[in-house]
Structure 1
Amino acid sequence: MKTRQIERKSLVPHTVDGITELVLDTEYIDVPQPPRDWDQLVRTAVTIGACLLVSVALVWSTSAIGGLLALSVVAVVAYAAAAAFDLTWIMCMAVEWLLRYDPKRAKIARKAGHGSLAVSMAAVFAHGYVFDQMVIGLVGASVSALAKGGWSIAMRVHARPLDPRTQQWVEARRAKVDGQLAMIPIRRDLQRGEHLVDAERQALTADSGSTDPDRSGGSADRPDRSGPSVDRRSLTTKEAVRIAWDDGIRDRDAVLHDAADRLGRPVSPDSVDRYLRDLKRGA
């Protein structure tokens, strides 16, 4: 049996002159070496070969189609546009790989990849036809087909098919997670809309109120509250913070104290900080 040597370090007690300390001790031991995983090596070789085929196909198709398009446009633009032909079906293969556990969605990417591959092969053949090199056109078009086939085989090597029940379980779980992920931008958009509505309402209220800008008689931290009284039972922390903001209070501690005074109870500093950030963004 083949063995390999590994290094192990551990703390051991060591005594000198009656004083014991823990010191680092290094030990080399032989352990059995696992057999070579030939299946994994072959799987890796197939993947590398598929990547090389795709790279060769991309270079060849770009060169051939670019030479065809260069007859009517600048060479730089022609070759940049030519790269799109093979990049399209390569991108479809990447999407198919990402959706390998979702056959319904992967089927669309597979069909789109086959269509893009056909267009790319037709363009390569057209290059040979225009330059009166039909055989080269046919052989060159087959390069992309071979690359596509090689990658499809590599994907089958890495595929892990699921039984129907497990597939349904995965789809149900994915639907719930996707719904939660989708709600993140939706909630953000709704909050943004609510802030815009609140800002519009405050602007209209300010325009319809007193036009006298002078608010003498109150300090910067404790402005005058001679306006209409607010029912504390129906007042929320968010509304109390907004009232303090409208009164010109910008200091965080002052807002916290003002909101607690209006509510008649302590308020959460985290909630006050969150509402202040929202008001500053909407300002």
Structure 2
Amino acid sequence: MKTRPTTQYVPHTLDGKTRMIPVEVDTSTPPRDWDHLVLNGVTGIAALVLTASVVWSTASIGDLLARVVIKPAAYGGAVVFDLVWIACMAIEWLSRYDAERAALPRRAGHAALGVAMAAVAAHGYIADQLVIGVVGAVVSGLAKGLWTVVLAHQTPALDPRTREFLRQELAEAGATMAVIPARRRVQRMQHLAAAERKALADSGSANPDRPDEDTDEPDDNVLPINPGALTTKDAVRIAWDSGLQDRDAVARYVGKATGKMPSPETVDRYLRALRVGA
């Protein structure tokens, strides 16, 4: 069995105080995992094949499109043919635990691959090299097939109950994530509605049938009186006793207390009488 030196921290006590001290020890090394090495090698080969396929099809389709557009645009559009089915294959891998969700990207990837292969074959046909065009199209098919085999090998086989369990777990987590933006929208709408109500209330237009209230409020020391319950003289006396001595302020209070605005002369007469009595 092979060993290798490693550093471990062990407790060491001196004078009643314990410290962790580094110590060099020999530990056994696990045997080489040849399966993992082979899988890494196959994955590297698949990546190399995919790169060669993208370069070939981009050059072929780009030359085909360059007959009608400038080369930068032609080759920029040509690379899309391969990127689409590669992206679909990646989404299929991400959905490997849910067969229903993986079905759509799988079908889309096959369709995109077919379009790319047809474009490569069409380039060979236009260039009077149909055989080369067909062989070039097969390159993309081989790259797609190799990656399909690699990904299928790395996808764990799950029994139906486990697949259903994972599906429900993902659905529950997805529902939790979906509620967050929905709640955010609800809160935003509630804040907007509250701001609208406050703006309407501040502007006095929340109830257009309601007349505007008098901005001149009576003194806080004056007790509220029900309109029509007092005479003008009594209302003037209450205002006087509450500290209101200005004629206009007393008149406004009398109007609120009696429900009818008194004449300035009447208010002056009562005020003079109160001043004399004081």
TM-score (norm 1): 0.69
Offset from partner CA, 1:148-202 (integer Å, 9 cap, x none): 0110011012111210111111111211111111111111111111122122222
Offset from partner CA, 1:83-110 (integer Å, 9 cap, x none): 1100000000000010000110101110
Q: Which moved more, 1:163-172 or 1:100-109?
A: 163-172
Q: Is the 8 A contact 1:69 1:78 kept in 2?
A: yes
Distance (whole Å) between structure 2 residues aligned to residue 167 and residue 110 of structure 1:
19
Q: How does 1:116-155 map to 2 (within 5 A)?
A: 116-155=112-151
Report the counterpart of residue 192 of structure 2 in structure 1: 196
Report the counterpart of residue 108 of structure 2 in structure 1: 112
Offset from partner CA, 1:208-258 (integer Å, 9 cap, x none): 16699999x9xxxxxx9xxxxxxxxxxxxxxxxxxxxxxxxxxxxxxxxxx
Aligned residues: 213
Q: Offset of 1:12 from its aligned partner?
A: 3.2
Q: Is the 8 A contact 1:6 1:30 kept in 2?
A: yes
Q: Which of 168, 173, 178 matches 2:169?
A: 173
Let me know the Cα RMSD of the aligned residues.
Answer: 2.5
Q: Is the 8 A contact 1:67 1:78 kept in 2?
A: yes
Q: Is the 8 A contact 1:89 1:112 kept in 2?
A: yes
Report the counterpart of residue 6 of structure 2 in structure 1: 6
Unaligned runs of 5+ in 1: 218-223, 225-283
Taking a change above 3 Å as real, the CA distance of residues 56 and 198 of structure 1, as seen in their structure-2 partners, is same
Q: Which of 195, 202, 205 matches 1:206?
A: 202
Distance (whole Å) between structure 1 residues aligned to residue 7 and residue 140 of structure 2:
50
Q: Is the 8 A contact 1:13 1:21 kept in 2?
A: yes
Aligned residue type for 1:164: P
Report the counterpart of residue 49 of structure 2 in structure 1: 53
Aligned residue type for 2:2: K
Report the counterpart of residue 221 of structure 1 in structure 2: none
Q: Which moved more, 1:80-89 or 1:20-29?
A: 20-29
Aligned residue type for 2:60: A
Q: Is the 8 A contact 1:92 1:113 kept in 2?
A: yes
Q: Is the 8 A contact 1:43 1:157 kept in 2?
A: no
Aligned residue type for 1:196: L
Q: Offset of 1:13 from its aligned partner?
A: 4.8
Q: Offset of 1:203 from its aligned partner?
A: 1.7
Report the counterpart of residue 248 of structure 2 in structure 1: none
Does residue 81 of the first structure (1) align with residue 113 of the second (2)? no
Distance (whole Å) between structure 2 residues aligned to residue 10 and residue 175 of structure 1:
47
Q: Offset of 1:28 from its aligned partner?
A: 2.4
Larger radius of gyration: 2
Q: Offset of 1:135 from its aligned partner?
A: 1.7
TM-score (norm 2): 0.70
Q: Offset of 1:10 from its aligned partner?
A: 3.8
Distance (whole Å) between structure 1 residues aligned to residue 118 and residue 162 of structure 2:
41
Q: Is the 8 A contact 1:10 1:26 kept in 2?
A: yes
Identity of matched residues, % = 46
Distance (whole Å) between structure 2 residues aligned to residue 21 and residue 195 of structure 1:
60
Aligned residue type for 2:70: V
Distance (whole Å) between structure 2 residues aligned to residue 148 and residue 2 of structure 1:
41
Q: Offset of 1:24 from its aligned partner?
A: 6.8
Distance (whole Å) between structure 2 residues aligned to residue 74 and residue 149 of structure 1:
33
Aligned residue type for 1:198: A
Report the counterpart of residue 95 of structure 2 in structure 1: 99
Aligned residue type for 1:188: R
Distance (whole Å) between structure 1 residues aligned to residue 43 and residue 216 of structure 2:
76
